[in-house]
Chains A and B, each alone.
Chain A
Amino acid sequence: MNNQIGDTDTDTDVSTDTSTDSELGTTAGVETSTTTTAGESEEQVRDEWTDYRFDAPAKLSVEDLDVWYGDDHALKDVSMEIPEESVTALIGPSGCGKSTYLRCLNRMNDRIKAARIEGSVELDGMEIYDPNTNLVELRKRIGMVFQSPNPFPKSIRDNISYGPRKHGDINKGLLARLFGRDDSEKEAELVERSLRQAALWDEVNDRLDDNALGLSGGQQQRLCIARCLAVDPEVILMDEPASALDPIATSKIEDLVTELAEDYTVVIVTHNMQQAARISDQTAVFLTGGELVEYDDTDKIFENPESQRVEDYITGKFG
C-alpha cells in the first residue's frame, strides 16, 4: 500500500517490519528486536528502494504479501512487480525468505500446513489467491524447478511426458492404443522439443528409456527443467537450481536460463551474487527478517545500491 498510494513523506521512517510494531507506533530507533545476521547493520527500508518501474506489462504483481509459519513471520509485506520475458533474480542471505516468496508465486506454500499467507499475487492481472483458482491451470502456467534435482524414478521419456500425460494431453494407455488414438508420435515430438530446449537432447537421445536417476546431477537438473517446459508454462520459478551442481553444470544451467528468458518469464533464487549479476535483468534483495530491501535493475543493484545493508551484503561484509 505504501508503494502505490503516492506516499509523499517517504522520508518518515515508517516501520514496515511487524504488525505489532506498527500498531504500537514504534519509531525507527526503537526497532531493535529483529534478529539480524551477524555483521548486518541496522537501517530502515525505504519504499522507493523497492519501487522498480519498467515499461513492459507486469507478468506477476505481488502486493503486500505476508507469510507466517506458525508464529514465525517469515515474509514481511513484500510488494513487487515482475516484468514479462526477463530474468528476475532474488538474492539474500539464507533464511531470509527467498524460497518462501518463490513458493507463494505458484501457491506451493499451500502444501505446507503451518504456512499462512496474506496479500495478493496477480498473474496477468488475475488474482491467484482467489478461492476459486484452478490450481492445476495455475501450476501449468507457472512451472517450478527445485533446488536439488528431483526427477521421478522413471525413464527419461516418462519424466518429460509425465505432466502432459496426467493432464490428458497425451494418451498412451491401452484403450487409446486399441482405438487408434495412441499419441506416441506426439509424445516423441514433445520429448524431443523439451529436451532440446533444455539443452539435453544431444546427451540423452539414445537412451530415453533409461532411468532418469542414472543421469548426472547437472543432467538431472536440466531434465527437471525440460519436464517443467513440457507442460508449456509462461513463468518458470527456479529455487537455487545450480546450488548442488559443479561449475560446468552450473554454467550450462546459466546459459539455459538466459536463453529461456527470450520466451519465458524466469524468476530465479540464487545465493551466488556473481550468478545473479551475470544472468538477471533485475534483482531483488531480501535481507534477514523476510523483508524486500531493494529491487531494481541488476546493474543498479550491483553498482550503486541505495541501501547500506545491500551494499554490505553485496560486497560480502555479511551473509
Chain B
Amino acid sequence: MSERYARENELVSAESNLYDKAMDVAIALSIVTFVVGMITFADAVPLGATGTELVNFFAALLGVVVGGTGIVAVFSYANVIPITSQRVRGVAMGLLVSAVGLTLAAFVLPVSLATMLGLVMLLEAGLLVAAGVVSRLGLVDTAPSMTAGLLAGVVFGIIGALVGAVIVGSLPGLDAAVPGVPVWLLGAIVLGVGFGALAIVPREDLGSTLPAALIIGLLGVTIATAVIGVGWQWTPENLSGGFTGGSVIPVFVLFGSLLASWSAAKCRADFGARGRQYGAFFVINLNAFLMVAIMAAIVVFVTVKGVGWAFHDFSIGALSLLVVLTPILVLTAQHARAPAGTDEWHSAARQFFRVVPLAAVGSLAALLLGIIVTGTTFEIPYQYAILVDRSTVMLDTAFRVTPSLTVGNLLIIVSGAILFTYFLRRYGSLRNVGTEYERLSLVRQGVPAAVGLLGLLSLVYVVIGPVLDNIGIGPVLGLGVATLGAVVVAAFALVPLGALVTGEGTLAERAHESAQLLNVGLFSGIALLMAVIVLEWTAVSNPQLGPVAPVPVVALVAAVSSLCIAALVARARRSTDDTLRRRVLGDEVTLALAAATGYVTLVGLHVAATSESTFALGPVEVGINGSLSWPTVLQGAIPLGQAPGGIYPAIIGTIWIVIGASLFAVPLGLGAAVFLTEYAEQGRFTELVEIATNALWSTPSIVFGLFGAAFLIPRLGNSLSLLAAQLTLSFMLLPLVLITSREAIKSVPDEYRDASAALGVDRWTTIRSVVIPAAMPGVVTGVILGVGRIAGETAPLILVLGSEIDATTAVDVLGGFAFTTTPPFITNEALLGSSAALPTQVWGIITAGVSGSPSKGWATAFMLLVVVLSFYAVGITARTYFRRKINYE
C-alpha cells in the first residue's frame, strides 16, 4: 500500500473537526425539526404559538433532550453504557445545541412557531450549501464520488418538477406564455430538468447538497414569509375540502427535515460509500419512526377516547391482583436469573438492571399487601363525558383496588395452571435417585388404577346419575368416595414432608434419600385429587362434613405442605456442595413448587366443579364470582338505565365469531395445504388452486358478506345468525391459512422427509410427526394475520349478523347445544341466532346518529382493539412456543 493511500484514508478518524461538528449539529437540527413537525402535525402545539407559549414549548423540548441525553451521558461517564462513537456523541451534542438554540430563539424572536420552523429550515439550507462548497473547494478531507448518482438525480428531478408546477401554476399573469401548452407543465419541465441536472452534473458534494438546500430553502422561505401561513387556505374547485396552513406546513417541515437529515448525514460521513450509507440510515430510520408514530397515535387516540367508559366503575380486590402477579413474579425472577448484557457492562450495573423488573413486581406486591393490611381502598377518581339527550353530561367514576380477600376461581385456575406447567416443564427427572421403597411400586401401580376407577365411577354418574339418586345411593356414594380420596391425598402430601423432617442424617441427605417418596407422593396426590374433583363434578356432590369441606381443605393443606417441602429442600440445597446432589435437590424444589401450584389450581377447580359453593378459609374466599367488578366488559347494556351499560355481549360475540371461524378454517386450510403440497401432483391443478386462493384472498369482504347473506342464511334458518357469520368469516380466513401453510410446509427441508422415509416410516406419519411440527410456526403466523383481519371485519357481519348496539345478554354457545331425536340430532339456538359483535356495534352506534352515544362507540372500538391485540398475543405466544420447540436455544 502506498504511503499516500494510507494517509488519505485513515482507518480510525476519532477526532472530529469543526466541519464534522457543524454537520452533527445540522443532523441534530433536522431531527429536532422532524419531531417538532410531527408534534404540530398531531396538533399538540398550535403553529401560531408565540411568546410564552412558544418558549414553554421549546423549554419542554429542551427538558426532554437534556433528560434523554443526560441520562445516557451519565451512564456513559460511569462506563455502564460507554458511548465511544464520535458520531453518536456529536449528534447528542448537536441535539443539546439545537434545543438550547431554539429555546433562546423563541425567547428573543417575536415570531410564531410556523415562522420559526421556516427560519430553521433556511438555516439548515445555509449549512448544507456551506458544507457542499467547503468540501468542493477542498478545505476539508472528504471522499466524494464523481456524481451523486442517477437515483438522486431522478428523485430531485421529480421533486423539482412538482415544485415547478406549483410555483409557476400559482403565479398570476403567466397563463398564456406559450399558447396551447399549460403553463404549469412548462414550469415542471424546466425545474425538473434543472434540479435533476444540478444533482447529477456536479461532483457528489455539490450534487447532493445544492438541490437539497434549494428545496429546503424554498420551503423555508414559503413558511417563514407566510406565503403559506397559519391562516392560509386553498380550496381547489373540484374538491369539497381544502388544504389549510395547519396541515400543509407540518408536511413541508417533515419533508424538508427528512431531506436535510439525508444531505447532512452524507456530508458528515464525507460522501462516497460511507456517506451514502449514513444518509440512507437517517432517512430510513426517521421514516420508520414516522410510521411507528402514526400507528401509535391511532392506538393512543382510540384509547384516550374510549378508556373512560371502558373502565367505568372498575374495581378489583387486592388479593386477586396478587394472584395475577404471581406468574409475573416468576417470570421476572426468571428474567433476573438469565445471564444478560454485553461484556462492557459493569457486572454490578448489569445485575441491577436485571433485577429491576423483579423489584418493581415486588414493590407492587408490597403496595397490594399494604392495601389488604390497612383495609383502605386505593382509588383513582376521574371524569368523562357522555351524551344524554343530545347534551353532554360529565360522569364521575373511579378506578379502585379494594382490600377484598375474595378471589375468583377462574383467576386461581388460570394463574395456577400457568405456574404448574411452568414448574413442571422446568422439572427434569428424579429417576433412579434415592431409596426405592418396596411399597412405592405398589403405589405406582395402585394410583393409576384408583384414578381409573374414579374416572369410571364419574362416567357411571354421567350415564345413570339420576337412577343412582333415585335409589338414594347417589349422594352418599359420591360423598363417601370423594372424602376417602381426599384423606388418601392428604396422606400423599404429608408423608414426604414427614420423611423430610424426621429420620437420620442431615436434611440434605434425607431430602436426597426420600426423592422417590416425593416424586410418587406429589404426582399421585395431584392425580388422585384431580380424579376426585371430576367425580365431584359428575356426581354433583360437595362433601361437607359438618363445617369442613375435605377436598379444598386437603388441597390447601397439601399446597402448604408442598411449599414447606420446597422451602426445606431449598435450604438443604444451599448447604451442599456436591453437584449431583444439588441437581437432585433442585429438581425436588421445582417439583414441590409445581405440586404446590397444582394443589392451589385444584382448589379453584373444586369451586368450579361444585358450582353452588364458595370456599372460605377465614377471611379468604374463593368463589365463582371474584372481586373483579368491571361493568363495561362484564355486563350487558342496561335498557333505559342511568349508568352506562356494558358491552359484554359484543365482546363475547366477537370472541365466538373468531373462535368459530378459526375452527372451521384452520383445519380445512391446513388439510388442503398438506394435500396440495405433499400429495397432489405438482402441475396445472395445483397452480390453478394457487391462483384461485390468491384471488379469494384479495376478494373484497363485502362480497363474502353478500355470499353469506344470499347463500348461507337461507340455508341456516333464514335469519341473521352467528353460525353464518362464523362461516362467512372462515371463508375469508381460509385462503390466507392455506397460502401461508403451503409456504410453511414447502419450506420444511426435504432432508427430514428423506430421513423419515429411510427409517421405514410412511408418508402420513411423517407429515404428522415431522413436517407439520416443523411448519407450525409458519402456520401460526398465517392464522395470526388472518385472525387480525377477520376479528375487526365489519362489512360482511352487518349483512349476516346485523348490527345490534344495545344487547343485554350474551350468546351462550356452549349452553346452547341441545340434542334432538330428529335429524340433525343436535341443535344450537345460540349459533342460529343473532348476536352482538364489537365491530358491528361500533358501526351501529355511528349510524344511529344522535341517538347513539359516541363515548360508547369509542369504548367499543377500544375494546375491539384490546380483543384483537389479545388474539395477537395468544398467537405470538403459540408461535414462540413452536419455534422454541424446533429450534435449539
Q: Interface residues, chain A, CB within 8 Å of chain B? A: 106, 108, 111, 135-140, 143-144, 146, 148, 150-154, 162-163, 166-167, 178, 180, 188, 209-214, 224, 227-228, 231
- Bound together, the chains give a CA A231 to CA B755 distance in angstroms of 13
Chain A interface helix/strand/loop/mixed: helix
Residue contact B755 to A138, C-beta cutoff 8 Å: no
Residue contact A136 to B762, C-beta cutoff 8 Å: yes
Chain A residues with CB below 8 A from B445, complex form: 180
B734 to chain A, nearest CB (A): 28
Chain B residues with CB below 8 A from A139, complex form: 757-760
Tell which of A137, A138, A152, A211 touches B770, judged by Cβ atoms closer than 8 Å.
A152
Chain B residues with CB below 8 A from A166, complex form: 759, 761, 765, 769
Closest 9 interchain pairs by CB?
Answer: A214-B888, A211-B888, A139-B760, A150-B751, A153-B886, A144-B758, A163-B759, A136-B760, A140-B760
Residue contact A231 to B759, C-beta cutoff 8 Å: yes
Chain B residue with minimal CB distance to A107?
Answer: B757
A84 to chain B, nearest CB (A): 21
Residue contact A150 to B754, C-beta cutoff 8 Å: yes
A77 to chain B, nearest CB (A): 26
Chain A residue with minimal CB distance to B755?
Answer: A150
Residue contact A143 to B758, C-beta cutoff 8 Å: yes
Residue contact B774 to A137, C-beta cutoff 8 Å: no
Give the contacts of B832-858 with A (CB-CB under 8 A). Answer: none
Residue contact B452 to A178, C-beta cutoff 8 Å: yes
**Does B448 interact with chain A (Cβ within 8 Å)?**
yes
Chain A residues with CB below 8 A from B431, complex form: 188
Given A150-B749, A166-B769, A214-B888, the answer on whether A143 and B759 have CB atoms closer than 8 Å is yes
- Bound together, the chains give a CA A312 to CA B770 distance in angstroms of 45
- Bound together, the chains give a CA A148 to CA B754 distance in angstroms of 12
Given A150-B751, A153-B887, A162-B769, the answer on whether A228 and B759 have CB atoms closer than 8 Å is yes
Ordered by A's residue number, 23 sampled pairs between the chains whose C-beta atoms are within 8 Å are: A106-B758, A108-B758, A136-B760, A136-B761, A137-B760, A150-B749, A150-B755, A153-B773, A162-B756, A162-B761, A163-B759, A163-B760, A166-B759, A166-B769, A178-B452, A180-B448, A211-B886, A213-B887, A213-B888, A214-B889, A224-B755, A228-B759, A231-B759
Given A150-B754, A152-B755, A178-B452, the answer on whether A231 and B887 have CB atoms closer than 8 Å is no
Further pairs besides A137-B760, A140-B760: 8, Cβ < 8 Å: A144-B758, A150-B752, A153-B886, A153-B887, A162-B759, A167-B760, A209-B428, A231-B759
Chain A residues with CB below 8 A from B765, complex form: 166
Chain A residue with minimal CB distance to B766?
Answer: A166
Chain A residue with minimal CB distance to B759?
Answer: A163
Chain B residues with CB below 8 A from A227, complex form: 755, 759
Chain B residue with minimal CB distance to A214?
Answer: B888
Tell which of A111, A137, A152 touches B757, judged by Cβ atoms closer than 8 Å.
A111
Residue contact B760 to A231, C-beta cutoff 8 Å: yes
- Bound together, the chains give a CA A138 to CA B761 distance in angstroms of 11
- Bound together, the chains give a CA A213 to CA B752 distance in angstroms of 12
Given A146-B755, A178-B452, A224-B755, the answer on whether A138 and B760 have CB atoms closer than 8 Å is yes
- Bound together, the chains give a CA A162 to CA B756 distance in angstroms of 9
Chain B residue with minimal CB distance to A148?
Answer: B751
Q: Which of B431, B452, B757, B765 has the most CB of A within 10 A?
A: B757
Chain B residues with CB below 8 A from A180, complex form: 445, 448
Chain A residues with CB below 8 A from B774, complex form: 153
A284 to chain B, nearest CB (A): 21
A109 to chain B, nearest CB (A): 11
Chain B residues with CB below 8 A from A209, complex form: 428
Chain B residue with minimal CB distance to A138?
Answer: B760
- Bound together, the chains give a CA A238 to CA B749 distance in angstroms of 20
Chain A residues with CB below 8 A from B760, complex form: 135-140, 163, 167, 231
Chain A residues with CB below 8 A from B887, complex form: 153, 211, 213
Chain A residues with CB below 8 A from B752, complex form: 150, 152-153
Chain B residue with minimal CB distance to A177?
Answer: B448
Chain B residue with minimal CB distance to A210?
Answer: B888
Chain A residues with CB below 8 A from B749, complex form: 150
Chain B interface helix/strand/loop/mixed: helix
- Bound together, the chains give a CA A211 to CA B882 distance in angstroms of 13
- Bound together, the chains give a CA A152 to CA B768 distance in angstroms of 13
- Bound together, the chains give a CA A139 to CA B885 distance in angstroms of 28
Chain A residues with CB below 8 A from B759, complex form: 139-140, 143, 162-163, 166, 227-228, 231
- Bound together, the chains give a CA A135 to CA B762 distance in angstroms of 9
- Bound together, the chains give a CA A148 to CA B750 distance in angstroms of 12
Tell which of A108, A154, A167 touches B754, judged by Cβ atoms closer than 8 Å.
A108
B382 to chain A, nearest CB (A): 50
B562 to chain A, nearest CB (A): 23
A157 to chain B, nearest CB (A): 11
- Bound together, the chains give a CA A133 to CA B749 distance in angstroms of 28
Chain B residues with CB below 8 A from A137, complex form: 760
Chain A residue with minimal CB distance to B583?
Answer: A206
Chain A residue with minimal CB distance to B753?
Answer: A111
Chain B residue with minimal CB distance to A149?
Answer: B751
Chain B residue with minimal CB distance to A111?
Answer: B757
Chain A residues with CB below 8 A from B754, complex form: 108, 111, 146, 150
- Bound together, the chains give a CA A108 to CA B761 distance in angstroms of 12
- Bound together, the chains give a CA A214 to CA B888 distance in angstroms of 6
Residue contact B762 to A108, C-beta cutoff 8 Å: no
Chain A residue with minimal CB distance to B761?
Answer: A166
Chain B residues with CB below 8 A from A214, complex form: 888-889
Chain B residues with CB below 8 A from A211, complex form: 886-889
Q: Mark B866-889, 1 if CB is under 8 A from A, else 0.
A: 000000000000000000011111
Chain A residues with CB below 8 A from B886, complex form: 153-154, 211, 213
B834 to chain A, nearest CB (A): 40
- Bound together, the chains give a CA A210 to CA B887 distance in angstroms of 10
B494 to chain A, nearest CB (A): 26
Chain B residues with CB below 8 A from A228, complex form: 758-759
Chain B residues with CB below 8 A from A162, complex form: 756, 759, 761, 769
- Bound together, the chains give a CA A57 to CA B285 distance in angstroms of 73
- Bound together, the chains give a CA A213 to CA B749 distance in angstroms of 14
- Bound together, the chains give a CA A108 to CA B749 distance in angstroms of 17
Q: Mark B721-752, 1 if CB is under 8 A from A, else 0.
A: 00000000000000000000000000001011
Tell which of A136, A144, A178 touches B448, judged by Cβ atoms closer than 8 Å.
A178
B877 to chain A, nearest CB (A): 19
B634 to chain A, nearest CB (A): 36
- Bound together, the chains give a CA A89 to CA B765 distance in angstroms of 33
B581 to chain A, nearest CB (A): 15
Residue contact B755 to A108, C-beta cutoff 8 Å: no
Chain B residues with CB below 8 A from A152, complex form: 752, 755-756, 770
Chain B residue with minimal CB distance to A106?
Answer: B758
A127 to chain B, nearest CB (A): 18
A152 to chain B, nearest CB (A): 6
Q: Which of B428, B757, B760, B761 has the most CB of A within 10 A?
A: B760
Residue contact A146 to B757, C-beta cutoff 8 Å: no
Q: Which of A151, A211, A214, A227 has the most CB of B within 10 A?
A: A211
Chain B residue with minimal CB distance to A113?
Answer: B681
Give the contacts of B418-435 with A (CB-CB under 8 A). Answer: 428, 431
Residue contact A146 to B761, C-beta cutoff 8 Å: no
Residue contact A146 to B762, C-beta cutoff 8 Å: no
- Bound together, the chains give a CA A148 to CA B752 distance in angstroms of 11
- Bound together, the chains give a CA A227 to CA B757 distance in angstroms of 13
Give the contacts of B450-507 with A (CB-CB under 8 A). Answer: 452
Q: Which of B751, B759, B762 has the most CB of A within 10 A?
A: B759
B769 to chain A, nearest CB (A): 7
Chain B residues with CB below 8 A from A150, complex form: 749, 751-752, 754-755
- Bound together, the chains give a CA A226 to CA B262 distance in angstroms of 58
- Bound together, the chains give a CA A180 to CA B765 distance in angstroms of 24
- Bound together, the chains give a CA A231 to CA B769 distance in angstroms of 17
A103 to chain B, nearest CB (A): 9
- Bound together, the chains give a CA A138 to CA B755 distance in angstroms of 15
Tell which of B452, B751, B769 touches A146, judged by Cβ atoms closer than 8 Å.
B751
Residue contact B757 to A108, C-beta cutoff 8 Å: yes
Chain A residue with minimal CB distance to B749?
Answer: A150
